[in-house]
Each structure stands twice: as structure tokens, then as C-alpha cells.
Amino acid sequence: MATLSASGLCKAFGGVHALKDVSVNVSSGEIVGLIGPNGAGKTTLVNIVSGLLVPDVGEIYLNDTSLSGMEPFQIARLGVARTFQNIRLYRSLTVAENLGVSYISSQQHRRPSEENSCAAILTRLGLESVADRIAGTLPYGHQRRVEIGRALALDPDFLLLDEPAAGANAVETQALVEMVGEIREIDGCGVLVIDHDLRFIMTACDRIYVLGDGSLLAEGTPQQIQVNEEVIRVYLGGSDKTS
């Protein structure tokens, strides 16, 4: 079993302390949620784990291997893939070509199974009918799925999803819960998922971390998080606060 762990992460942008001594870990086959109000530091954490940002303090490990100082492409080759909050597809390539770019890399650096071939991923994500469409012309929901498909085509051991349910309706969100469960079953991936949709997070995740203002407020099962007084005060509030 593999473990991806971040320990003691601190990151400041000028005077803004986006992360203050935050530690999280995800193991193979685990679906872990990361929630917190806007500006809590969630995307910064994923940016650090995927190598886009360098922490001021703290370490990232994939099992016993330190990822510190590695470039994003090196971290991806080691099996840590991600999606972006602001979708970043190759907009002028087709859906199949978007996946193909990742698949070429995984063939060179990983050992992709049959389930991670482009054709299999297109089928798994319900993208077959749009395989030859230009990615940038697709509806938002499809583009989000293409992002997930492109990450899966890297044959990851760990998948970091930054707000995959943003803009999704209830039916699409339920489909996403099933898709994430399937990724765990088929690929054995560990998944770290950020989202504001608490139904999604509470249904899909085994364990949840709660960030508030750059600090880790709580960690626990969905049942524990829903009754955690600090979390209710800072995040869930008395109302249906979802952003």
C-alpha cells in the first residue's frame, strides 16, 4: 500500500498565510475530502503536493521518497495526477487527443493497465460520443470529465481533484460520486478531493480534513466532521453555507 503525505506545510503569499503547519495524508484506495471556506488554503495545498508551488516549510513524501524540489512533471510520472479548479485542457485538441497526451507519457514512464487506455477511460467516463470533439467547445460538465480523464490516462496511484463538482447539478454530482468510487475500485487510487458540495464530500469520502484560514481545524470520518463543534462554528454554520 502506498501513502502520499504532506507534513508541516507552511506557505505565505506576502502577508497572507495561506497554509500554517498543515499535515495531511492519503493512502491507496482511500477517498479523502478536503473542505473549508473560500481562501482556506485548499488549492494551495494541492498546488504544493503536485509541485506547482514550493512550500516555505514542510515536506511531501510518496512512501519514503521526498518530492521536495521536484518539478510537476516528475511528480506526475511518479504517479500523482491532478485536475484544476480552473479547467486547463488543451482547448484546441480533441477530447481523445487530450487523453492521448497523458497516455503517451504514461506509456513511457508507467505501466498503464488495459483500464487506463484512452478508449477504456473514454468509456468509463461516458465521453465516447464526444471523443472527436474539440475539448474547448464542450459544455463545462464535459470539460470537467475530460480533465479527470486526462489525469487518469497518466495511470496515477494518487489523484488530486480540485472542485470536480463545481457547477454540477444534483444528478451530475451523484454520477461523480460513483465515478470517484469506481476510480478507487478499478485503479486502486488514493483520491484527495476538494469540493464545496457537502453532499458529494460526505457521500464520497472515507475521511475528511477541514481547513480554515490556513490551519487544519479537524480531521475525521464524515460522521465525526458533521458533529464537530469547531467545524460547525467556522464552516458549516447554522445555515447552508457552501462557499
Ligand X SMILES: Nc1ncnc2c1ncn2[C@@H]1O[C@H](COP(=O)(O)OP(=O)(O)O)[C@@H](O)[C@H]1O
Question: Which residues make up the interface to ligand X (CB under 6 A)?
Answer: 13, 16, 18, 36, 38-44
The region of 36-44, 130-138, 143-151, 185-193 touching Mg ion under the rule CB under 5 A is 36-44
CB atoms within 10 A of CB 61: 15
Give whichever of 41 and 190 is closer to ligand X, judged by the CB atom: 41
CB of 173 to Mg ion, least distance (A): 18
Interface residue with Mg ion, options 6, 33, 43, 138 (CB under 5 A): 43
Q: Is position 83 an interface residue for Mg ion (rule: CB under 5 A)?
A: no
Residue number with CB closer to ligand X (18 or 179): 18
**Segment interacting with Mg ion (CB under 5 A) among 83-91, 102-110, 166-174, 233-241:** 83-91
Q: Rank residues 138 and 216 by Cβ distance to ligand X and give the closer one.
A: 216
- Interacting partner of 150 out of Mg ion, ligand X, none (Cβ under 5 to 8 A depending on kind): none
Question: Where does this chain bind Mg ion (CB under 5 A)?
Answer: 42-43, 85
